[in-house]
Structure 1
Amino acid sequence: MEKKLDLDQVREDEGKGVDYTKRKSHRRRKKKKVWKIALTVLSVLALLVCVGFASFVVLQKTGKSSLMKYAGTEQMTMKNTEESGLVSKNGKKYKYNENVITLLCMGIDKDSTSWEETGYIGENGQADAIFLLALNPDAGSLDIIGISRDTMTEIATYDKQGNYVGESVNHLALAFSYGKTKEEGAELVKTAVSKLFYNLPVHGYAAIDWDALGKINDSVGGVEVTFNEEVVLNGETFAGGEKMRLTGEQAKSFVRQRGDEIGSNNKRMQRQKIYAAAFIGAAKNAVLENPLLVSDMYKELSGDMVTSMGVDEAVYLASLLPSMRFSLDDIQMIEGEVKEGTVYEEFYADEDKLMNLILDIFYYEVY
């Protein structure tokens, strides 16, 4: 519809003079310029969002493929394994579930100021906390297995010059210390854990120092836990049953401290179990709010972490997390017996219970 000319407005403008008319025209041009700038900014932001989303999708796809390749092709060596690969137990047959993604997470007893590679055996720290994660995308489940650092098992042993001297039955935590580099140490723990679990394929590992834990804790907005016993965090005492949102420094103290009495590491592992369950819940919410959180943290932790996984694999795993069912009951500790060793306490896994745990998480019943 054709717009009518407002003669009264024209006469009014003419009466105000040429300068007014020029100023009004300039204001129109200025408004158009502002709108053009706004549209340009919005277009650039939309493009960045699209590029970010496209990159996220690409990282998801490549990450899944990379994880599966890393695990290798070595066969499981469970007892009562038939030539077909099926495992017989209590009159039932079980088959290994190749879709389960297994990750090894290690906390190294160093902070960022002391975790420097020297190239010498025994100076890169020990694996103080060891957890095996099993993600089943088909079932939408996440299981975590806590492994005592004092577990007596076969580990590769080296002399001070780095020469291999054979396998020895020793504390699992020491495996890390036999690496000349952080990567070598992490690989040695991964190999030892895989053997302990009858050559279970491990698709990736991440080893972090204690400073990294504080950063990760704060990246999800802190982690709320309920204390299972009286604890002292950075000099302050809290009663059992008390609920608290931990800061990074408090989280480090909560999962790291232990006493000198026999069985003290098992008590610490119970605190680590409580923290892990609460952290997973907080992380699921944080990733839903910001899908790029994992890639951002991956870069920030570069100096406090060594991992076999690239950012694409980390992004893929993070994309699975929000849909995973998880509760405190999904964290299980290897059962066994704690004995007082010559110098340090020793933990011996119950072989039959360990086998049942492996069948329950990593296998499925065929018939």
Structure 2
Amino acid sequence: MPQVHIKKRNTKKIFVLIIFLLVFVCVVLGVFFWESKQKQEAMLVQAEIDEPARKRREGWVERDGVWYAPKQDQETMLLIGMDKMDPLEASESYNNNAQSDFLLLAIFDNTKETTTLLHINRDTMAQIPVLGVTGQPAGSVTGQLALAHTYGSGLQDSCVNTVNAVSDFLYGIKIDHYVAMTMGAVPYINDLVGGVPVTVLDDFSGIDDSLVEGETITLKGEQALHYVRVRGGLEDSSNLNRMKRQQQYLESMAEQIGKLDEDFSVSPQQISTISKYIISDCSIDTLSRMAEQFVDYPLQEMQDIQGEAIVGEEYMEFYADEAALQEQILDLFYEVKE
């Protein structure tokens, strides 16, 4: 191997060159590692930003540092009772005079295989979506939830407007289906299950003398309608008091339905009569599927919403306890996930 001879006068130059190259390499490596560290730190910071953003996009909510994920295996249905006796018909206008006098959200939990009912006060003050003359959204107003149904023709559009109002009030929870009916259907449905036994909670003297406070009777026909609908003329005419009777009635009806024989059936004539009073976004197949799927789910204790009822300038107004409602929504529709 040939030998390389370096002249002494070049040794110093070579040494300086080597030192320069070493310094250059160190600087380059230093910059590289610094940039890598900065990128890693930036990625961590971005991850901290992106993770909450991702969760919020997926519907998670954060409360007191704890993240709650939406329960995935639930199905919900809003039951709407309209303060109207006649069969359903369109108003042929952008508004109608049928208020949603009764609001009940049914929550079917397929994981726990339970059914929970949330009774919502029709006097609840909330933001109500408004529909314009063309039926398109035209902002919102503050008013009773019952008024949401008055926007629209009184059919599907009014029901959807009510669903949207209730969903917004309940912090945007998803409502999958609705079934709405005029109060004229109550006597037919009541008698279809053989009547509904209750212990009368109020004095109906002068309104329906067959309803004697404290007596246990089986409601038939118009009795049932009076029991769940009337509030004017009673000693306590508030909707909160009426809601107690409605809850009592529904719980008793659920028990009656549970006692029906396996060969229980509804005639085509009965279906035809009742269908005139009922409207839904569900097909017959969907309703049949839900009935079959949820019929054996035990009914949990019915819930209502805490708050205060006051006399407003014109009508009763109910104001929900926001803190309590938030906790209730978290319990019903969300779960803690790590």
TM range, smaller chain: 0.7 to 0.9
Structure 1 vs Structure 2: percent identity of aligned residues? 30
TM-score w.r.t. the length of structure 1 is 0.70
Tell me, in whole angstroms, the C-alpha distance in 2 between the residues paired with 1:235 and 1:317: 36
**Structure 1 SS opposite 2:104:** strand
Equivalent residue number for residue 18 of structure 2: none
Contact 1:106 1:208 in 2 (8 A): yes
Partner of 2:248: 274
The answer (yes or no) to whether the contact 2:98–2:154 under 8 Å persists in 1 is no
Shift of 1:292: 5.5
| Contact residue 167 and residue 173 of structure 2 kept, 8 A | yes
Kindly provide the CA deviation profile for residues 264-301 of structure 1, in whole angstroms up to 9, marking residues without a partner as x: 11111111110111111212333x62476599865542
- Counterparts of 1:184-333 in structure 2 under 5 Å? 184-232=157-205, 235-259=208-232, 264-286=238-260, 289-290=262-263, 293=266, 299-326=272-299, 330-333=301-304
Q: 1:235: how far off?
A: 2.6
Q: Is the 8 A contact 2:127 2:142 kept in 1?
A: yes
Corresponding residue number in structure 1 for 2:120: 147
Change beyond 3 A, Cα 1:282–1:84: same
Structure 2 gaps, min length 5: 1-54
Question: Secondary structure of the residue that 1:169 maps to in structure 2?
Answer: strand
Say which of 299, 323, 330 aligns to 1:359.
Answer: 330
User: In 2, Cα distance between the equivalents of 1:151 and 1:237?
Assistant: 31
Aligned-partner residue type, residue 104 of structure 1: L
- Which of 309, 325, 343 matches 2:314? 343
CA contact (8 A) 2:89 2:154 kept: no
Whether the 8 Å CA contact 1:291–1:319 is kept in 2: the answer is no
Q: Does the C-alpha gap of structure 1 residues 347 and 102 become closer, same or farther in structure 2, counting only changes over 3 Å?
A: same
Distance 1:96 1:296, change over 3 A: farther
The CA distance in 1 between the partners of 2:82 and 2:59, in whole Å, is 36
Query: Considering only aligned residues, what root-mean-square deviation do their CA atoms show, in Å?
Result: 2.7
Looking at structure 2, the residues matched to 190 and 262 of structure 1 have their Cα atoms a distance apart, in angstroms, of 29
1:39 maps to none
CA contact (8 A) 1:117 1:124 kept: no
Structure 2 SS opposite 1:352 = helix
User: What is residue 54 of structure 1 aligned with on the other side?
Assistant: none
What displacement does 1:257 show?
A: 0.2
**1:152/1:190 CA distance change after superposition, 3 Å:** same
In structure 1, distance between residues paired with 2:58 and 2:282: 31
Shift of 1:333: 1.1
Secondary structure at the aligned position of 1:173 is classed as helix
Match of 1:138 among 80, 88, 111: 111
Distance 1:195 1:122 in 2: 21
Deviation at 1:319, TM superposition (A): 1.3
Distance 2:67 2:269 in 1: 44
Q: Determine whether 1:101 maps to 2:72.
A: no
The CA distance in 2 between the partners of 1:313 and 1:298, in whole Å, is 16
Per-residue CA deviations over 1:335-362 (Å, capped at 9, x if unaligned) read 1111221111111111111111112222
Q: 1-side partners of 2:195 and 2:249: how far apart?
A: 11
Check conservation: 2:208, 2:223, Cα contact below 8 A: no
Aligned length: 283
Paired residues of 1:124 and 1:182 also in contact (CA < 8 A): no
| Equivalent-residue separation in structure 1 for 2:159 and 2:196 (angstroms) | 27
SS in 2 for 1:102: strand
- Matching residue's letter, 2:324: K
- Helix, strand or coil for the counterpart of 1:324? coil
The separation in 2 between residues aligned to 1:189 and 1:258, in whole angstroms, is 22
Change (3 A) 1:161 1:216: same
C-alpha spacing 1:103/1:233, structure 2 compared with 1 (3 Å): farther
